[in-house]
Structure 1
Amino acid sequence: MIRTPLRPLARILSARQAGQDPDEIEAELRAQRHAEIQDRARRRAETRLKWMVVCFVVAFGTVGLRMGALASSQPAEPRAHASGAQIISQRADIVDRRGRVLATNLSTHALYAHPRDLVDPATAAAKLARIFPDLDAERLKKDLTGERKFVWIKKKLSPEQMQAVHDIGEPGLVFGPREMRLYPNGRLASHVLGGSQFGAEGVSSAEVLGMAGVEKAFDRWLRDPANGGAPLQLSIDLTAQAAMEEVLANSIKVMNAKGATGILMEVKSGEILAMASLPDFDPNDRPRPLTKGDPSDSPLFNRAVQGVYELGSTFKIFPIAQAIDEGLINANTMINASSPMKIGKYLIHDFHNYGGQLSVRDVLGKSSNVGTVRIAQMLGPERQQKFLKDLGFFEPTPVEMTEAPTGKPIVPSRWPAVTAATVSFGHGLAASPLHLASAFATIGNDGRRVRPTLIHRKVPVQGEQVLSPKAAKQARDLLRYVVTKGTARQAEVAGYEVGGKTGTADKPRPGGGYYKNRNVSTFASMYPTDDPEYVLVVTLDEPKVSAAGGGEMRTAGATAAPVAAALIQRLTPMLGLQPDGLKLPVIEPRPADAVRVSAQ
């Protein structure tokens, strides 16, 4: 700033010439300077006051707005935030049709280490190896004594293990809270549930992802916070499932079988009440998949859905029901059953030679291959293919499991006369037991297509009409005859009017041809036949029982049929259906917040 002198020379000289006192000029300029200084000071003070007013207004306004917001909000407990808080660890429960828990979450802890904070890393590694025998002691010692800053030790700890680690007393061993998936029933319904694994992980939380079964099929739904934690309700009945697995496990021992499958389904809705595949596994400790050999040797293999087999004589009801629907035959129509029958260069035999002619009723009751082929020839290959396609035998089942697409039927690429003949009695086309259960349910549902589901619905989904109700009724009467007078007499259960069909099919060799002493025995049934409520399919892999006069029996009538009878006797009263059609109420306590979702 340029300061003006108090005694400017020009004005002093002029004042002296004019006879004025120069001191007056100095006094005037001094007073003017003081006035300017005061003005500047006043302006600075005014500016400061304005800024203070603005600051006070903003501060008190902010406080007032925050107080207003807090006054209008709901009270909540403060929550601590960690770096892993972005991981969505919440996962909904899975319950059965009565609301009983099949899968839930359990709070647990993970264990990790900060090696630089360890007082004695080598001793800590040795003690940890004793607590967790599955750990590699040398590798753990190398990790803890090396240059690493962070080491995962265990992703899940039991309370006992946590206490043992705590007793080590090392400050560098740290516990991280997390949730793990728990299957409280162990092996029960293991193939249906599938199992889970950890996805994205942090020290304070971990993401739980489904890896098979309904856990994977509904993975996104189970992790969706928009569902508010409501459980996924399945059609499975836990009590029936447990009983089925127990009976099948005993049947494997008695029948010396490699494996077994059972499916119990509601006819009208297609809801699966129980579905078992043995051997099974514990989803809490899911085994590793096989990397070589036969996939069916693994306990992870779901025989009910993934097992694709030639289901033998259980298929014979389909050309017969179709021919009845087309008006070509009825139960009393006589069929030429002379054996062997020649088609081209191939001969078709019956297990027994039944002579010249059999009624349609006896063709099915005695399980005549030749008689069935004669009926299939009346239909022709094109109509035969269309009907089997309408029943669902040309595509995977739509059941809500990730394994379902892998159970695609093996359908012949060509359909000449010999293929049409062999398919009519269950050879040349391979499908899963669940395909067979769905097709039998369609016959039981007055010819209206039934699609299997694992979701408990309020209202059944109606399928298309693939068989007339009249033809379906006659087909059920024929199936009843098979149990009372035919090959499935050991499946008879007093009071339930069981109708069904046995099927014994030789297992194909990997290099072509068939084994002579290995087969798949199946019994497909529905009951009561006058108004079916349930379909039951039992399949045994390589069964054999000792015959009375020596030797072994492998036919479905001697193996699968009696197992089905045991299952019907054990399961059906649990579901409220007593002998002779007496229905008792079954209380189904469902959680109020349970959510039913449509099939994917």
Structure 2
Amino acid sequence: MIRTPLRPLARILRARETGENPDVIEAENRAQRHAVIQDGARNRAQGRLFIMAMAFVLAFVTVGMRMGVMAASQPSEPRAQVTGAQIISQRADITDRHGRVLATNLLTHSLYAHPRQMVDPDAAAEKLAAIFPDLKAADLKEDFSGKRSFLWIKKKISPEQMQQVHDIGEPGLLFGPREMRLYPNDRIASHILGGSTFGKEDVASAEVVGIAGVEKAFDHWLRNPANEGAPLVLSVDLTVQAAMEEVLKNGMNIMKAKGATGILMEVKTGEVLAMASLPDFDPNDRPRPLLTGDPSDSPLFNRAVQGQYELGSTFKIFPITQAIDLKLVSPTTMINANAPMRIGKYLINEFRSHNYGTLSVTDIIVKSSNVGTVRVAQMLGADRQKDFLEKLGFFEPTPVEMSEGPTGKPLVPKRWPAVTSATVSFGHGLAASPLHLASAYATLANGGKRVSPTLVHGRARKEGEQVISAQAAQTGVQLMRQVVVRGSGRSADVVGYEVAGKTGTADKPRPSGGYYKNKVVSTFASVFPASNPEYVLVVTLDEPTSTGPGGESRTAGATSAPVAGEMVRRLAPLLGLRPLTETPLPTVERPLADGIKLVSN
């Protein structure tokens, strides 16, 4: 900065020449210098005032915006934060094949207490007991008066209950937001879904984890944030599942059965459209498992997957079809079916001590001849019989995507002597689940290519092994069609849908050995339409009894077959199947039945 001198020499000399006073020049320059200094100080002061004013304005705007956000937000109780891994509470939805929700999440609240902050714990205990009938006031008072500083009261409460607790006005009662698992269809598909519970949890959130069914089998996938909230799409059709459960429940009640199972599966893909097990439960309020007694007495027991039953004469189609494939017999081959038949010290009889004499292979299936089936199985030999059943999947658990899947391993004889080969041929001595049976029938209906069950829709799958020739498999289906047309499955016939199937009635084994005389498992396994199989349907009733004009009957033809027929009648239109033009068959009052009686010499 260049400073102007107060007494510039040029002006001073000129002033002296003109007689002016040089001090006036100095005074003028001094006044100008002071004016510049004052202007600079004024500008600096104004700048500081402007900055301070802007700072105050910004502060007031920030406070005002924060107050607005707090006024518009949901009020929440202050709480201490704990260090540790963050709880992942978000869980993907589960839907049926059409996108209808089977399981989803619902925002709810938990209720907990800080007893040391409570003003009137006794009054709070009384009011809480009135809101929640499962809580006892005496227990709450004891808990509130103890040394605990934190106490869970309810892990899940409804909005109405939350408001009622809030109206108590007790500062020691606090709420924590969290997500819970909701099953909007109540009991429908309960065994498939399984259920869930809380894993890691704190007052602000909880981790939902699966404990059974697909919820447990896909637990990691459902909780994986990498899926970006995409739902798990099951192969189940909610409408078909609901209709199946309704028909199965009515049939179970009419037949006075202890339990029931129904499975509907697509032949080509193995996708399960419906799978029911009765009695069932509500996954929103999952009951506790039984600690004693028979596991099948619990509603949690999945009879379709976990149940291991001797499935009776539904097995007869396997040795017959295998023998046809090996060119050992044809549908018209005549077989000696004279009964009884002796194998070692055992006698194999027909149901109700029939003696059919000589039967064609077709009539062995139609009349469900034990002796005729054993004769064909003897042609096969034990090794080939075992190999075929193993390829059909009867030696290992089904690969169905459920946590219960690995527990459903069939009970296979360790030794395979001649008598075992004989009894297994007509469904005794080997116990498997109804889902195993459905998969095996789907393999026959699929032209002999192995079909494995799945609960996931649209998943790419490898083509199954060719277990048996397509021609033999087709012949087996046509033989089962004759069972429905003129055999023990006539009560399952539905005009227009060409049902083909086989009945099976097996005495239930005693835990101590031997068999009950008046307790059976009746099964009807079927495919439809027989001319172009698309679906497999298996219905199993545990300890049924049918009462008709001829008295009581426990055979599959009188119990499970009519239930299966009603299912086809209800489900086929829902599946979009158009009825074919068929000649109506005459109505019969009493279908034939099948059975087994082993007599030791």
Letter in 2 for 1:295: P
Instruction: Determine the structure 1 residue equivalent to 2:258.
Output: 258
Q: Is the 8 A contact 2:111 2:154 kept in 1?
A: yes
Partners of 1:454 and 1:365 in 2: how far apart?
Answer: 33
Instruction: Determine the structure 2 residue equivalent to 1:141.
Output: 141
Instruction: Determine the structure 2 residue equivalent to 1:538.
Output: 539
Aligned-pair identity (%)? 71
Partners of 2:577 and 2:559 in 1: how far apart?
Answer: 25
- TM superposition shift of 1:547: 2.8
Instruction: Determine the structure 2 residue equivalent to 1:371.
Output: 372
Instruction: Determine the structure 2 residue equivalent to 1:65.
Output: none
Letter in 1 for 2:370: N
Check if 1:202 corresponds to 2:179.
no
Instruction: Determine the structure 2 residue equivalent to 1:40.
Output: none
Q: Is the 8 A contact 2:340 2:355 kept in 1?
A: no
Change (3 A) 1:329 1:271: same
Check if 1:346 corresponds to 2:346.
yes
Q: Is the 8 A contact 1:268 1:460 kept in 2?
A: no
Give the alignment of 1:389-408 within 5 angstroms: 389-408=390-409
- TM superposition shift of 1:387: 0.2
- TM superposition shift of 1:530: 1.6
Instruction: Determine the structure 2 residue equivalent to 1:234.
Output: 234
Partners of 1:110 and 1:78 in 2: how far apart?
Answer: 19
Give the alignment of 1:66-85 within 5 angstroms: 83=81
Instruction: Determine the structure 2 residue equivalent to 1:322.
Output: 322
Partners of 1:313 and 1:187 in 2: how far apart?
Answer: 32
- TM superposition shift of 1:140: 1.4
Letter in 2 for 1:456: H
Partners of 1:336 and 1:136 in 2: how far apart?
Answer: 73
119-128 or 266-275, larger mean C-alpha shift: 119-128
Letter in 2 for 1:395: E
- TM superposition shift of 1:78: 12
SS of residue paired to 1:274: strand
Partners of 2:194 and 2:329 in 1: how far apart?
Answer: 46
Instruction: Determine the structure 1 residue equivalent to 2:291.
Output: 291
Partners of 2:172 and 2:446 in 1: how far apart?
Answer: 66
Letter in 1 for 2:485: T
Instruction: Determine the structure 1 residue equivalent to 2:449.
Output: 448
Q: Is the 8 A contact 2:483 2:500 kept in 1?
A: yes
Partners of 1:400 and 1:466 in 2: how far apart?
Answer: 23
Q: What TM-score comes out, normalization by structure 2 length?
A: 0.82
Letter in 2 for 1:211: I
Q: Is the 8 A contact 1:544 1:552 kept in 2?
A: yes
Give the alignment of 1:76-475 within 5 angstroms: 83=81, 86-351=86-351, 352-457=353-458, 459-475=460-476
SS of residue paired to 1:422: helix
- For these two proteins, the number of residue pairs brought into alignment is 505
Instruction: Determine the structure 2 residue equivalent to 1:3.
Output: none
Partners of 1:219 and 1:355 in 2: how far apart?
Answer: 55
Letter in 1 for 2:81: S
Partners of 2:241 and 2:449 in 1: how far apart?
Answer: 27
Q: Is the 8 A contact 1:308 1:409 kept in 2?
A: yes
1:21-51: CA deviations, max 9, x gaps? xxxxxxxxxxxxxxxxxxxxxxxxxxxxxxx
272-281 or 114-123, larger mean C-alpha shift: 114-123
Partners of 2:376 and 2:120 in 1: how far apart?
Answer: 83
What are structure 1's unaligned runs of at least 5 residues? 1-76, 583-600
Change (3 A) 1:185 1:335: same
Letter in 1 for 2:248: L
Partners of 2:465 and 2:162 in 1: how far apart?
Answer: 58
- TM superposition shift of 1:92: 0.2
1:80-131: CA deviations, max 9, x gaps? 9983781000000000000000000000000011111111111111111111
SS of residue paired to 1:540: strand
Give the alignment of 1:499-518 within 5 angstroms: 499-518=500-519
1:184-217: CA deviations, max 9, x gaps? 0000000000000000011100000000000000
SS of residue paired to 1:580: coil
Letter in 1 for 2:300: L
Letter in 1 for 2:233: Q
Q: Is the 8 A contact 1:519 1:543 kept in 2?
A: yes
Letter in 2 for 1:122: D
Q: What TM-score comes out, normalization by structure 1 length?
A: 0.83
Partners of 2:451 and 2:520 in 1: how far apart?
Answer: 28
Partners of 2:556 and 2:569 in 1: how far apart?
Answer: 19
Partners of 2:458 and 2:98 in 1: how far apart?
Answer: 12
1:136-187: CA deviations, max 9, x gaps? 3222111112221111110000111111101100111100000000000000
SS of residue paired to 1:211: strand
Give the alignment of 1:37-56 within 5 angstroms: none
Partners of 1:580 and 1:471 in 2: how far apart?
Answer: 24
SS of residue paired to 2:541: strand
SS of residue paired to 1:466: coil
Partners of 2:80 and 2:525 in 1: how far apart?
Answer: 56
